[in-house]
Amino acid sequence: MSYFEDEIFSKKDNFGLFEVMNVAKHEQIVYCCDPSVGLKAIIAIHSTALGPSLGGCRMWNYESEKEALIDVLRLSKGMTYKAAVAGLNLGGGKSVIIGDPKKDKSEALFRSFGRFVESLGGRYITAEDVGTNTNDMEYVRMETKHVTGISRALGGSGDPSPMTAYGVFQGMKACVEELYNTNSLKGKKITIQGLGQVGQALLELLYKEGAELYITDLDSNLTERLAQKYNAKAISVNDIFKIEGDIYAPCALGGTINDNSLKNFGYKIVAGSANNQLEDEIKHGNILKEMNILYAPDYVINAGGLINVWNELQGYNKAKAMKEVENIYNILKNIFKIAKNENIPTNLASNRLAEKRIELLSNLRRFYLKNS
């Protein structure tokens, strides 16, 4: 979603915050400052049309406040779309804490952040994200109940990564069904890029299914070790687009679908957990379509973790959460159908699906308010 930068920031030196909020229709931006504990945070609520906004708290050493603002605006809008397509009664929000997660964390900082979350009265629910973890969220929990992703020991749903991986696994099945008329991944040649929390859980699921696996991570020792354990072929980070296969599963960083990687792209499907996989949403979504490469939109296929924390809010039941995560299969099939019928890229089809649901429920809410 580069339009934040293109349309606002790079063209004008003096942007107004209301103008920025109008670009993607953000409802509220909250700047949180507590010098006594070194807290500088921004909470962005993109939409509460479907329910309270939910999205993780990212802690990152941003180079500037502008960079932090762009990130939180972009991420919070993404959460609205993710919740809408997943069929959850949640809106989209996100928060960022400006600081180095290796050096600047303290109980006081997260408790202060928790008090800001509490002051929003439930309009924003936080969770862990890049740079934060369940321990940090337990400090937040001391000040507010509007937090998810708490450890199993404290009655929460724990680390959401295995559920994210399970959702990606289901999404891959929907993709192969679309191309090969079978939803089995047995014998399918699949490359996993990134062997972190999600990548490793996905690797295990695919190994059990009998897929032909190629794996890579920045940590080559880890790659070798996991290759042995799961009978996979370890490849170097730079060779990922030199080989051909059925599925490319980006489970590391965003932006890997770009002009470079698409030059000699040898996979038929893109299906992985990474956020913001398309460097340019419109341009690279179109190119994938023209090249007949099936793309499982990132925020649809990686919604398993969000569905899991949504279940935590209802009183956690793992079996129920897994059933709901399995529905990612049907959601993707529906998106592929819309894309085919309307002859549009799959990422555009999922955006339209999200916008339709938000509009429908906003109209319903307006109707009830008017008539109550």
Q: Known catalytic residue: 229?
A: no
Pair type for strands 39-47 and 91-98: antiparallel
Of 252, 287, 313, 353, the one binding ligand NAD (CB under 6 A) is: 252
Nearer to ligand NAD, 111 or 284 (CB): 284
CA distance linking residue 76 with residue 44, whole number of Å: 6
Q: Which of 17, 218, 360, 364 binds ligand NAD (CB under 6 A)?
A: 218
- Which of 94, 105, 173, 289 is flagged as catalytic? 94
The pair phi, psi for residue 124, each rounded to 5°, is -130, 130
| Residues contacting residue 225 through CB under 8 Å, at least 6 positions apart | none
Q: By Cβ distance, which residue is nearest to ligand NAD? A: 196
Binding mask 176-215 toward ligand NAD (x if CB under 6 A, else -) reads: -----------------xxxxxxx----------------
Residues 6+ apart with CB under 8 A from 297: 335, 346, 347, 349, 350
Closest among 262, 351, 341, 251 to 300, alpha carbons compared: 351
Measured distance CA(321)–CA(319) in Å, rounded: 5
Helix 161-180 to helix 328-342 angle, to the nearest 10 degrees?
Answer: 40
Stretch in the footprint of ligand NAD (CB under 6 A) among 67-75, 118-126, 251-259, 340-348:
251-259
Token digits of residue 40: 């500088």
CB of 165 to ligand NAD, least distance (A): 8
Can you give the length of the chain in residues? 372
Q: Alpha carbon 184 to chain centroid distance?
A: 25
Pick the binder of ligand NAD from 37, 179, 235, 237 (CB under 6 A).
237
Minimum CB–partner distance for residue 125 and ligand NAD (Å): 16
Count residues binding ligand NAD (CB under 6 A).
23
Quote the least distance from Cβ 5 to ligand NAD, whole Å: 20
Least Å from the CB of residue 174 to ligand NAD: 17
Within 13 Å and on the Cβ side, how many CA atoms surround 7? 11
- From the list 142-150, 270-278, 318-326, 359-367, the region that binds ligand NAD by CB under 6 A is 270-278
With binding defined as CB under 6 A, does residue 96 bind ligand NAD?
no
**Least distance between ligand NAD and beta carbon 134 (Å):** 12
For residue 104, the surrounding DSSP H or E stretch is: none
Is residue 259 within 8 Å of 203, Cβ to Cβ? no
Which listed residue (273, 311, 346, 350) binds ligand NAD by CB under 6 A? 273
- Interacting span for ligand NAD (CB under 6 A) from 90-98, 146-154, 268-276, 281-289: 268-276
305 binds ligand NAD (CB under 6 A): yes
For residues 305 and 165, the answer to whether their CB atoms sit within 8 Å is no
Q: How far is the CB of 35 from ligand NAD (least distance, A)?
A: 30
Token duo for residue 45: 């609520």
If one asks whether residue 253 binds ligand NAD (CB under 6 A), the answer comes out as yes
Residue type, 165: A
CA 284/CA 290 separation, integer angstroms: 10
The answer to whether 261 contacts ligand NAD (rule: CB under 6 A) is no
Q: What is the C-alpha to C-alpha distance for residues 144 and 41, in angstroms, rounded to an integer?
A: 16
| DSSP helix/strand/coil, 46 | strand
CB of 270 to ligand NAD, least distance (A): 14
Q: Does 112 bind ligand NAD (CB under 6 A)?
A: no
Does 350 sit near ligand NAD (CB under 6 A)? no
Q: Which residues lie near ligand NAD (CB under 6 A)? A: 160-161, 164, 193-199, 216-219, 237, 251-253, 273-275, 302, 305
Q: What residues are annotated to the active site? A: 94
